[in-house]
Amino acid sequence: MAKEPVRVLVTGAAGQIGYALVPMIARGVMLGADQPVILHMLDIPPAAEALNGVKMELVDAAFPLLKGVVATTDVVEACTGVNIAIMVGGFPRKEGMERKDVMSKNVSIYKSQASALEKHAAANCKVLVVANPANTNALILKEFAPSIPQKNITCLTRLDHNRALGQVSERLNVQVSDVKNVIIWGNHSSTQYPDVSHATVKTPSGEKPVPALIADDAWLKGEFITTVQQRGAAIIKARKLSSALSAASSACDHIRDWVLGTPEGTWVSMGVYSDGSYNVPAGLIYSFPVTCCNGEWTIVQGLSIDDFSRKKLDLTAEELTEEKALAYSCLS
Contacts of 12 (CB under 8 A, 6+ apart): 18, 42, 43, 87, 88, 89, 90, 131
3-state secondary structure of 34: coil
Tell me the window of 67-75, 231-239, 261-269, 292-300 that interacts with ligand LMR (CB under 6 A).
231-239
| 302 in a known ligand binding site | no
Q: How far apart are CA 112 and CA 131, in angstroms?
A: 14
Where b means 16+ CB within 10 Å and e means fewer, 113-152 reads bbebbbebbeeebbbbbbbbbbbbbbbbbbbbbeebebeb
| 132 in a known ligand binding site | yes
Minimum distance of ligand LMR from residue 300's CB (angstroms): 23
Among 132, 154, 162, 167, the residue binding ligand LMR under the rule CB under 6 A is 132
Among 65, 134, 255, 272, the residue binding ligand NAD under the rule CB under 6 A is 134
Instruction: Rule CB under 6 A: say whether 93 interacts with ligand LMR.
Output: yes
Minimum distance of ligand NAD from residue 86's CB (angstroms): 10
Minimum distance of ligand NAD from residue 3's CB (angstroms): 28
- The partner residues of 38 in beta bridges, in order of sequence, read 7, 68
The torsion of the CA quartet 97, 132, 254, 206, rounded to 10 degrees, works out to: 30
Q: What is the torsional sign of CA 275, 280, 284, 290?
A: negative
Instruction: Rule CB under 6 A: say whether 141 interacts with ligand NAD.
Output: no
Instruction: Rule CB under 6 A: say whether 242 interacts with ligand LMR.
Output: yes
48 binds, among ligand NAD, ligand LMR, none (CB under 5 to 8 A by kind): none
195 binds, among ligand LMR, ligand NAD, none (CB under 5 to 8 A by kind): none
Q: What is the torsional sign of CA 278, 298, 129, 28?
A: positive
- Nearest 5°: the CA angle 297, 299, 300 is 120
Among 6, 39, 41, 42, the residue binding ligand NAD under the rule CB under 6 A is 42
Among 35, 72, 83, 132, the residue binding ligand NAD under the rule CB under 6 A is 132
Q: How far apart are CA 234 and CA 213, in angstroms?
A: 27
Minimum distance of ligand NAD from residue 99's CB (angstroms): 8
Q: Is 198 a catalytic residue?
A: no
Instruction: Rule CB under 6 A: say whether 274 interacts with ligand LMR.
Output: no
Among 181, 229, 243, 287, the residue binding ligand NAD under the rule CB under 6 A is 243
Which CB atom, from 94 or from 311, has the smaller least distance to ligand LMR?
A: 94
Which CB atom, from 175 or from 226, has the smaller least distance to ligand LMR?
A: 226
Contact 58, 25 (CB under 8 A): no
Instruction: Rule CB under 6 A: say whether 137 interacts with ligand LMR.
Output: no
Residue among 231, 294, 299, 295 nearest 268 (CA): 299
Contact 284, 321 (CB under 8 A): yes
| 61 in a known ligand binding site | no
Alpha helices in the chain, H assignment, sequence order: 16-27, 48-61, 75-79, 99-120, 134-143, 158-172, 210-214, 217-221, 223-229, 231-239, 245-260, 307-331
Q: How many helices (H) and strands (E) does the chain have?
A: 12, 14
Contact 179, 201 (CB under 8 A): yes
Instruction: Rule CB under 6 A: say whether 243 interacts with ligand LMR.
Output: yes
Q: Which of 40, 161, 188, 254 is catalytic?
A: 188
Interacting residues with ligand NAD between 159 and 198 (CB under 6 A): 159, 188
Which CB atom, from 6 or from 139, has the smaller least distance to ligand LMR?
A: 139
Q: Which residues are catalytically annotated?
A: 188
Annotated binding site for NAD(+): 12-18, 43, 106, 130-132
Annotated binding site for substrate: 93, 99, 132, 163
Residues that bind ligand LMR in the complex, under the rule CB under 6 A: 93, 132, 159, 232-233, 235, 242-243
